[in-house]
Structure 1
Amino acid sequence: MERITATYYIETPYEVAKAAAVLAGEQSSGTFVAVPNETEELKQRFAARVESIEHLQTVWEPAIPGARSKDGNYRRAIVKVSWSIENFGYNLPVLISTLQGNLYEITQFTGLKLMDIDFPESFVKHYAGAKFGVAGCRELTKVYERPLIGTIIKPSIGMSPEQTARIVKTLAEAGIDFVKDDELMSSAANSQFEDRLNAVMNVINANADKTGKKVMYAFNISGETDEMHDRYEKIVNAGGTCAMVSINTVGMSATKKICDQGALAIHGHRNGWGMMNRHPLLGIDFKAYQKLWRLVGVDQLHVNGIQNKFWETDDSVVNSIQSLKEPLFQHKNILPVVSSGQWGGQAFETYRRTQTVDLLYMAGGGIMAHPMGAAAGVVALQQAWKATVDGLTLDEARKLYTEFDKAAEKFGK
């Protein structure tokens, strides 16, 4: 019978093997005490197995609260545990309850992070993955051989539909590829969803009729399930090409139901990511996280950005981008969304370290607050990416391009 294997980074005040055995028991057939019906036959079929243990360093202070060490040592290790697919079948919520459920509560651990998941081929084939992915998003936007350049409507909330549409008109005429609602904006008192949709799509459709290029706008449909489906259909009927979902708050089942519709590219926003990943010994690593959402079927997924405004290191961002470039069986690769305090200046380091243009590169303030206006902000990002792919340095690009030079004056400090 096929098995799913999870890799954990753990810290424990106990012997590592004993702690790992507790993890395997608690997350399958066992509990804190032997029970009569947990027969050997049952355990053989349904119990989790500790597949391997790689001992790492020992420390003298626990990473998070848990049982106290009797000898003052807290042992760290990489542990692999596997489960029979019979335990949960093709059911992602139950899979996550197994791989990430009560084990975070177990007192035997003073640190625990899910680092990776290995799926059997039959499991992954059960999920179709992204409908559009990198190639599909390129086709929808008619952007090839360079990153998609995008922005976020700023201010995040407070503008009327008409104000939003005016900004989108400016951006579209400047050649923007992608625009999205902020995750804080869904249907506010002065910007009801349908009103904003109609105002924005009137601008986008008119620009597409004139230029042949349709700007991809990710309308935030996050909400109750029925409401999300209603908004999805409204976007389709208005001629839109994308919907945004706050995946961590909406959840896997609701997001998958949206992805399964297949008419719109789905922009997966990971807001809330910090509480899952910020602590080095708690939560889930992006390598495991992205596999789950690729199974669900999102077409685009946030990865933060180089020299970002948040806490995440450049190494972590680069690793996230690389993980999305790795194949997941025959599924389409999805588009990494580079965002967070970006302007054209970070394009050079982003390209140097990743050597890819298969990105959605977004700047909110980096476009909206350009000293020559939002249109020049779009141009400056386009110039930055052309310069870096052409092998120019940032300083060389400043001498060549006026809009980028002005961006560097404002944002490069």
Structure 2
Amino acid sequence: MSSSSPRLTARYFIETPNDLAKAAATLAGEQSSGTFVEVPGETAELKQRFAARVESIKPLDTSPTPAIPTGRPTPPNAVYRRAEVAVSWSLENFGHNLPTLVSTVQGNLYELAQFSGLKLIDLDFPAEFSARFRGPQFGIPGCRRLTNVPAGRPLIGTIIKPSIGMSPDTTAELVRTLVEAGIDFIKDDELMANPPHSPFDARVDAIMRVINAHADRTGKKVMYAFNVSDEIDAMQRHYEKIVRSGGTCAMISLNSVGLSASKKICDLGQLAIHGHRNGWGMLNRHPLLGIEYPAYQKLWRLAGVDQLHVNGIANKFWESDDSVVRSIQSCLAAEPLNKPLLPVVSSGQWGGQAPETWRRTQTTDLLYMAGGGIMAHPNGPAAGVHALREWWEAAVSGLTYDQCLAQRPNLALSAQKFAK
């Protein structure tokens, strides 16, 4: 590669009491060839070839107080300037190495005293970089094929609850109830992996006996996402156990096991990968610290994840509906690799959120998951699954929430139970 090497661009939302141009230059220097003084070997040619470049600075508003502490005394009458900054790096800096890329675009930036706020907003990968990654092996079309769910409606899924405590046989009986109710997808909770009360292999055996028997009888194989999160060698053993048992999906707690471990499992290529983002609030909840979802999902897309959590409309957590919609849209965007991810909608969901979810997103390319919204239906889990499908059918036909209730009397029971 040379100084004309393709470049990766990262966009940041920053806040600083310093001059914006100087702060942006510090950001670029810290994450490429620079240090706080000139050092031997740091030639002009080296800087030209490897230094990060500040591509643009868009000033925004100001604040009289810092968003987060800088670790330095606050100057008298300080003004904290905010801006959107774009910085680029030559691919020559990190090659096709995802962990080193993350170290480059995030790394020490959050430590710099020049910033009282810094958040990675998005990443723009040149085609030369993205093309070196396979990305999702199954994605949306593959997950529909594996579950036999046609286009035009979401995959309907649920989560095994209680999260922990149930034996493999007790879990399998709950799975039996769900598959007979017509569910498309079931997953382990992120707290359930390989505990003494439900060893992984025994749980897979018990559950897959139920799922395989149902598939033999009906032709529909429910997708079960077994949580393989563990040390890397154990994750591979768990993965291979699912494959031998006829399963179709493995779940990974992405933030717990990391980018390299997740990619190692994704690269095996035989199972759809359900990416759980537990720990997301730690990375995103502060408005001026961490990473935004568009950048986050691109990293996991390159790693090979097929399904990725996005929260849900009117959810039980802190995240706004606008943020959830942006997350869904970013999963469904073509790039990188022209391989969209399947957004996993969850968190306090039931059928009543379908009309607003459809109105805001205009897509059924979703894995729509409800735990209590299925299991706690007054007429049982089968009625819960059927109600979710009917809510979505009504929503896609253009009915509002109130119109759904007026024109679909069967939906009144779920509204009485779950509406706040």
- Do both proteins adopt the same fold according to a TM-score greater than 0.5, normalized to the shorter chain? yes
Could you tell which deviates more after superposition, 175-184 or 381-390?
381-390
Aligned to 1:43: 47
Aligned to 1:383: 390
SS of residue paired to 2:149: coil
2:117 corresponds to which of 104, 111, 115 = 111
Aligned to 1:132: 138
1:402 to 1:184, Cα distance in 2 relative to 1, 3 A: farther
List runs of 5+ in structure 1 lacking aligned partners.
Answer: none
Aligned to 1:279: 286
List runs of 5+ in structure 2 lacking aligned partners.
Answer: none
Pairwise mapping of residues 17-36 of structure 1 onto structure 2 (< 5 A)? 17-36=21-40
Q: Give the CA deviation at 1:71.
A: 3.6
SS of residue paired to 2:314: coil
Q: Give the CA deviation at 1:374.
A: 1.8
Aligned-partner Cα distance in 2 for 1:231–1:202: 17
1:99 matches 2:105: yes
Aligned 8 A contact 1:376 1:403 in 2: no
Aligned-partner Cα distance in 1 for 2:129–2:94: 11
Aligned to 1:348: 355
Aligned-partner Cα distance in 2 for 1:111–1:46: 26
Aligned to 1:182: 189
Aligned 8 A contact 2:125 2:336 in 1: no
Aligned-partner Cα distance in 2 for 1:329–1:35: 38
Aligned-partner Cα distance in 2 for 1:263–1:390: 36
1:12 matches 2:16: yes
Cα-to-partner distance string for 1:307-342 (whole Å, 9 max, x where unaligned): 000000000000111111211144321100000000
1:77 corresponds to which of 48, 63, 83 = 83
Could you tell which deviates more after superposition, 127-136 or 381-390?
381-390
Q: Give the CA deviation at 1:187.
A: 1.3
SS of residue paired to 1:56: strand
Could you tell which deviates more after superposition, 56-65 or 391-400?
391-400
SS of residue paired to 2:237: helix
SS of residue paired to 1:356: coil
Cα-to-partner distance string for 1:244-276 (whole Å, 9 max, x where unaligned): 000111111111111111100000000000010
Aligned-partner Cα distance in 2 for 1:351–1:373: 25
Paired letter, 2:365: D
TM-score normalised according to structure 1 size: 0.98
Aligned to 1:88: 94
Aligned to 1:158: 165
Aligned-partner Cα distance in 2 for 1:403–1:166: 27
Aligned 8 A contact 2:159 2:188 in 1: yes
Identity of aligned residues (%): 67
SS of residue paired to 2:83: strand
After superposition, the CA RMSD in angstroms is 1.1
Aligned-partner Cα distance in 1 for 2:267–2:377: 38
SS of residue paired to 1:79: strand
Could you tell which deviates more after superposition, 180-189 or 66-75?
66-75
| Matched length | 413
Cα-to-partner distance string for 1:214-258 (whole Å, 9 max, x where unaligned): 000000000000000000000000000000000111111111111
Aligned-partner Cα distance in 1 for 2:228–2:117: 36
Aligned to 1:248: 255
SS of residue paired to 1:209: helix
Q: Give the CA deviation at 1:69.
A: 3.7
TM-score normalised according to structure 2 size: 0.96
Could you tell which deviates more after superposition, 375-384 or 121-130?
375-384
Pairwise mapping of residues 392-403 of structure 1 onto structure 2 (< 5 A)? 392-399=399-406, 401=408
Aligned-partner Cα distance in 1 for 2:132–2:336: 11
SS of residue paired to 2:402: helix
SS of residue paired to 2:325: helix
1:63 matches 2:67: yes
Aligned 8 A contact 2:135 2:303 in 1: yes
Aligned to 1:120: 126
Aligned to 1:142: 148
Aligned 8 A contact 1:397 1:405 in 2: no
Aligned-partner Cα distance in 1 for 2:193–2:83: 43
SS of residue paired to 1:367: helix
Q: Give the CA deviation at 1:401.
A: 4.7
SS of residue paired to 1:228: helix
SS of residue paired to 1:263: coil
SS of residue paired to 2:274: strand
Aligned-partner Cα distance in 2 for 1:143–1:227: 32
Aligned 8 A contact 2:135 2:302 in 1: yes
